[in-house]
Amino acid sequence: MQTNVLHPNFSDVWSRDSVFLERDRWQARLEAVTPSDVECALTAAPGIYRPERLLALIAPAAQTYLEQMATIAHRLTVQRFGKTISLYAPLYVSSYCCNQCVYCGFNCSNQYERCRLSVEDAVEEARIIHHEGFQDLLLVSSEDREFITVDYLCELAHRLRGMFSTLSLEIHQLETQEYARLFEAGIDGVTLYQETYDPDVYARYHVKGPKADFQRRLLACDSFGAAGMRKLGLGFLLGLTDWRLETLALGMHGHYLMKQYWRSQISFSFPRLRPANEVQAQQFDHLVSDQDLVQMLLALRLCFADAGLIISTRECARFRDALVPLGITKMSAGSKTNPGGYGHKDGSLEQFAIDDARTPSQVADMLRQQGMEPVWKDWDSGFHPQ
Ligand code: SF4
């Protein structure tokens, strides 16, 4: 376990440096960035995080430098990752949820028939995914603690370890000891989104349930980092508040995790709000445009040379294809966002609507056409300490 009790956790760091405590000041700093600040940020050695560098690259003044940023991001990504993109698939195991997150189709206030997969059913779904060629599986669940227990996940991991080289999780927040048990069972990556780093906005969108505790949420990445997870995934939900301020906070969080859990790889994801059951885009005032998302992605690559950058099927095929040469390292393909979706279980609702419905082999073909190698396996479970 990588622990250092003398080091502050991210909640301590955050209470000192939160961008959202002085929102107006940071917004003014973003507006004050000049073209020469951006040029200075672009001429410094790429791939190294400095708060002022990230600030310059996400500022409005950097919007006219996207081509230069893209050229540097591409070169840096090829240097660090080669001409490869890893492919993964999500497997949803439950849509029961005790939280009321306003933006989510699984929100507990929405009335519809929910679905849980037994371990046996989940293994059946996983077999379908495995037959499509995937070696990297992401287990996803809503907050359904009664059913999706650590025992359930350990049993599922034991059943799946022979089928997949990489198993990771995107589920409700757990404690370090629970993550450590899952790591021993063969799960070596966890992604957990802060959703928003602004405490006021967080309170507005997380109305009810354990997830409504903002401070606890800030500690989540520390919990799985300390448990020794090999891959730490983070991000915010794009569309809840000003993406530029959120990206500053995300950069700070990513940098903290890199230093604190230096044996792990950090990854940034870019979940942009999507229509879902009873969730319409018009409800949100801060929707992020394609150009903004590109700027954010490039700025993060230019500050974090070794970070994974992940894009899911939330985005449409055209946009995903355009992102491939800009620094992306991993994509999902052929995704279903409802439990039982791969085996076509009837009546199970999606968490959100996907926008790239191509099959995994079509996505792999697209990558080859762009001169990239689709990677189905980038790790062997034999390296796992168990
Ligand atoms: S975002 Fe997660 S926790 Fe919130 S309602 Fe949806 S499934 Fe539940």
8-state DSSP, 190? E
CA distances, 12 to each of 6, 18, 27, 219 (Å): 12, 10, 23, 9
> Does residue 386 fall inside a structural domain?
no
pTM: 0.93
Nearest CA to ligand 1 atom 4: 101
Q: How far is the CA of 225 from the centre of ligand 1 (A)?
A: 22
* Terminal CA-CA length for the chain: 14
Angle between helices 243-260 and 290-303 (to 10 degrees): 30
> Does residue 181 fall inside a structural domain?
yes
Long-range contacts (CB closer than 8 Å, 24 or more residues apart) made by 22-30: 23/198, 23/245, 26/245, 26/248, 27/242, 27/244, 27/245, 29/55, 30/55, 30/58, 30/59, 30/60, 30/244, 30/245
Q: What is the pLDDT of residue 231?
A: 97
Strand 308-311 relative to strand 265-269, pairing: parallel
Domain enclosing residue 303, as ranges: 10-378
What single-letter amino acid sits at 343? G
Which residues, judged by CB distance below 6 Å to any ligand atom, belong to the binding site of ligand 1?
Answer: 97, 99, 101, 104, 106-107, 142-143, 211
Give the integer Cα–Cα distance in Å for 327 and 76. Answer: 8
Strand 136-141 relative to strand 373-375, pairing: unpaired
> Does residue 383 fall inside a structural domain?
no
Name the domain count of the chain: 1
> Does residue 309 fall inside a structural domain?
yes
pLDDT tens per residue, range 342-355: 997 555 677 777 88
> Does residue 323 fall inside a structural domain?
yes
3-state secondary structure of 356: coil
Q: For residue 272, report the phi and psi dihedrals to the nearest 5 degrees.
A: -100, 140
What are the DSSP calls for 55-85, one per residue?
HHHHSGGGGGGHHHHHHHHHHHHHHHH-SEE
> What percent of the chain is predicted at pLDDT more than 70?
93
Q: How far is CA 351 from the centre of its chain?
A: 15
Confidence of residue 4 (pLDDT cuts 50, 70, 90): very low
pLDDT surpasses 80 at 312: yes
- Which atom of ligand 1 has the smallest separation from the CA of 100? 5
Instruction: Give whichever of 65-79, 96-110, 334-348 has the largest mean pLDDT.
Output: 65-79
Q: What is the pLDDT of residue 274?
A: 75
Q: How far is the CA of 170 from the centre of ligand 1 (A)?
A: 11
Q: How far is CA 261 from the centre of its chain?
A: 17
Confidence of residue 20 (pLDDT cuts 50, 70, 90): confident
Nearest CA to ligand 1 atom 7: 142
> Does residue 350 fall inside a structural domain?
yes
pLDDT tens per residue, range 256-280: 999 999 999 999 999 998 766 667 7
Provide the CB-side half-sphere exposure for 265 (13 A, CA). Answer: 14
CA distances, 60 to each of 39, 178, 197 (Å): 13, 42, 21
Q: How far is the CA of 189 from the centre of ligand 1 (A)?
A: 19
pLDDT tens per residue, range 246-258: 999 999 999 999 9
Biggest CA-to-CA distance, the chain: 59
Mean pLDDT over residues 157-184, rounded? 97
Nearest CA to ligand 1 atom 5: 107
Mean pLDDT over residues 324-330, rounded? 97
> Does residue 2 fall inside a structural domain?
no
> Does residue 203 fall inside a structural domain?
yes
Any idea what the CATH number is for the domain that residue 103 is in?
3.20.20.70
Give the integer Cα–Cα distance in Å for 301 and 84. Answer: 16
Helical (H) or strand (E) element with 247: helix 243-260
Query: With contact defined as beta carbons under 8 Å apart, do 338 and 95 qualify?
Result: yes
